[in-house]
Structure 1
Amino acid sequence: MSPVTGHLTVERIGATLVLTLNRPEARNALSLPMLAALHDGWLTADSDEGIRSVVLTGAGGAFCSGMDLKALAGDGPSPDDPVRARFRADPELHWKAMLRGYRPRKPVIAAVEGPCVAGGTEMLQGTDIRVAGASAVFGLFEVRRGLFPIGGSTVRLPRQIPRTHALEMLLTGRPYTAAEAERIGLVGQVVPDGTALARALEIAELVNANAPLAVEAVKESVHATAGLPEAEALERELAIGRPVFKTADAREGARAFAEKRPPVYRRI
């Protein structure tokens, strides 16, 4: 299955949903149709219990070059276009699509090739695991254009990488190579150009092989405890983690280990 919905390609590969930004002629700049389809993709992933992970990538050797400035200036679909109607009905729709106002409960793995800048780097911060091709480029260029990185970067970036690196990226507006991004912790690994998607799918398969309730609880705990005092965070961790031990999948994991066979998890 690989239908194209607006400017987004949606493909199911096993238990992984692959969302591909599909405006290669514009280096996958974010358009209103793309954002609407992205939002739908996150909801699809979370509502379909057969999906255990999501891979976000871009077509044509690019990840995302940020917001389409023509769309930002109002040069886009006519006011009566159904896509614009969706944004009028939900003023937060674009933030949800960019993972600023919505956190999928399924793990999201980014496969980055080429430019991943401005809104691309902002959306990247909403993903969980990140793989980049060797020639990928990152950066928050907003200050160079008299703008503000309002997609969450002044809040999230200093929580994800050391503050000095976050401030350098935010205040200089300079581009970062994939090697630099890996060094400061913005991405987890760098692979040869053209192989980021394949590596992301390999990681997704490792995630998919695990108990989905446990995986989702681990992700929830990491985010729910971020920034909390340690004692409070540990209490929250127990509240999230204890129920996992009571699941049938937890019993299946122990049984499969004892019987030296692969576990069969059923999300119960």
Structure 2
Amino acid sequence: MTNRITVDRDGHVLLIGFDRADKRNAADLQLLQELSLAYGELERDTELRVGFVYAHGDHFTGGLDLADVAPRIGADGLDITPEGGIDPWQVSGQRLTKPVVIAVQGTCLTLGIELILASDIAVAADSTRFGQIEVARGILPFGGATIRFPRAVGWGNAMRWILTGDLFDATEAHRIGLVQEVVPHGQQYERGLELAHKVAAQAPLAVQAALANARTAVRDGDAAAEAGLQSELVRLASSEDAAIGMNAFVTRTPAEFVGR
């Protein structure tokens, strides 16, 4: 059986590629499960610091392959996470503790937008056309858009696209803050990977702590995040990476962090 997801390593970055280009990378159950397993690998491997999600071909994803997926929706919904996997949309089960950079192009529908919202930095090619079109198919977004889209771009901006199912372009995605950068088509992979390596070059314990505290603020409120700041500072200040960072500052040399 042909894999739907490619998984490669580039230093401390795990490259995760949608690879069903002949179907515009539409997600059938196999693709969803393979993607979940890739996220599980990213989480478990201590040598991996950042995930970089991209797509082979001209399009990021046409959304769900409903012919394959719809019959699999049971009484409890849709289970896409096999043993050893992590839900890439982060709406169930174990949480990913490492950052993810994502690069998109061409068609980016439904679960593609939700994967952007579940990631941490997004780069879009200027060719990208986005659509949260579930209401036009008689269902609702179930990968986190109803939760994260309003928070990320504001209520009105989110509802404008969720409730109409209209398509919008990369300029609009950047205007509302869905993506952080727009680049010429064909450059999204290189720019996304560049950013992933930039994150991976920082102290990994500090990156993960900063990410966790920001998520705590979003999920549990400012007070919960504030309560953890000083203890995390003490923990990180005693790490080997903190000593490496201080030495790099004093000697004006690049830091080579070890994750301890």
TM-score by structure 1 length? 0.88
Structure 1 residues 229 and 21, CA, compared in 2 at 3 Å: closer, same or farther?
Answer: closer
1:19 alignment partner, SS class: strand
| Alignment partner, residue 219 of structure 1 | 211
1:93 alignment partner, SS class: coil
- Aligned CA RMSD, in angstroms, stands at 2.1
Distance 2:251 2:129 in 1: 47
Structure 1 residues 166 and 237, CA, compared in 2 at 3 Å: closer, same or farther?
Answer: farther
1:226 alignment partner, SS class: helix
Deviation at 1:240, TM superposition (A): 3.6
Deviation at 1:227, TM superposition (A): 4.7
| Alignment partner, residue 255 of structure 1 | 247
After superposition, where does 1:82-97 map in structure 2 within 5 Å?
91=79, 93=81, 96-97=87-88
1:57 alignment partner, SS class: strand
Deviation at 1:8, TM superposition (A): 0.5
Deviation at 1:154, TM superposition (A): 0.9
2:62 alignment partner, SS class: coil
Asked if 1:197 corresponds to 2:194, the answer is no
* Aligned AA (2:234): R
Work out which of the residue numbers 80, 90, 100 in structure 2 matches 1:99.
90
After superposition, where does 1:1-268 map in structure 2 within 5 Å?
6-74=3-71, 91=79, 93=81, 96-101=87-92, 102-268=94-260
Q: Taking every aligned residue pair, what percent have the same amino acid on both sides? A: 34
Q: Deviations over 1:34-68 (max 9, x none)?
A: 11111111111111111111110111111111110
CA contact (8 A) 2:27 2:61 kept: yes
Distance 1:185 1:59 in 2: 25
Deviation at 1:96, TM superposition (A): 1.1
Aligned residues, how many?
252
2:91 alignment partner, SS class: coil
| Alignment partner, residue 81 of structure 1 | none
CA contact (8 A) 1:221 1:240 kept: no
CA contact (8 A) 2:33 2:80 kept: no
* Aligned AA (1:150): F
Distance 2:252 2:70 in 1: 60
Distance 2:89 2:218 in 1: 20
Deviation at 1:92, TM superposition (A): 5.6
| Alignment partner, residue 82 of structure 1 | none
Distance 1:5 1:219 in 2: 35
Deviation at 1:180, TM superposition (A): 0.2
1:201 alignment partner, SS class: helix
1:257 alignment partner, SS class: helix
Distance 2:79 2:106 in 1: 30
Q: Which runs of 5+ in 1 are unaligned?
A: 76-87
TM-score by structure 2 length? 0.90
Distance 2:197 2:111 in 1: 28
* Aligned AA (1:262): P
Q: Deviations over 1:149-200 (max 9, x none)?
A: 1112111111111111011111111011000000000000100001101001
Distance 2:70 2:248 in 1: 57
1:190 alignment partner, SS class: strand
Q: Which runs of 5+ in 2 are unaligned?
A: none
Structure 1 residues 191 and 9, CA, compared in 2 at 3 Å: closer, same or farther?
Answer: same
2:8 alignment partner, SS class: strand
